[in-house]
Amino acid sequence: MEPRRASYLLLVLAAIAAMTTCSVLLTMTGGIAMFGPGKGPASDDDVHAARREQMVRALAASGLGLEPHVLDAMERTPRHLFVPDEHRHVAYRDTPLPLSSGQAISAPGVVARMTQLLNVSVDDRVLEVGTGSGYQAAVLAEVVQHVYTIEILPELAETAAARLAELGYSNVTVRSGDGYLGWPEVAPFDGIIVTCAPTDVPEPLCAQL
Above 60 in pLDDT, residue 150?
A: yes
d(CA 152, CA 102): 13
Q: Where are the domains of the chain?
A: 3-206
Burial class (CB in 10 A: 0-12, 13-18, 19+), 14: buried
Q: What is the mean pLDDT of residues 29-55?
A: 64
Catalogue the active-site residues.
Answer: 106
Please list, in sequence order, all residues whose beta carbon lies within 8 angstroms of the beta carbon of residue 164, skipping any fewer than 6 positions away. Answer: 134, 137, 138, 141, 172, 174
Looking at the domain that runs over 3-206, which CATH code has it been given?
3.40.50.150
Above 80 in pLDDT, residue 3?
A: no
| Phi, psi for residue 181 in degrees, rounded to 5 | -90, -10
pTM over 0.95: no
37-51, 153-167, 188-202: segment of lowest average pLDDT: 37-51
pLDDT of residue 43: 66
Above 60 in pLDDT, residue 45?
A: yes
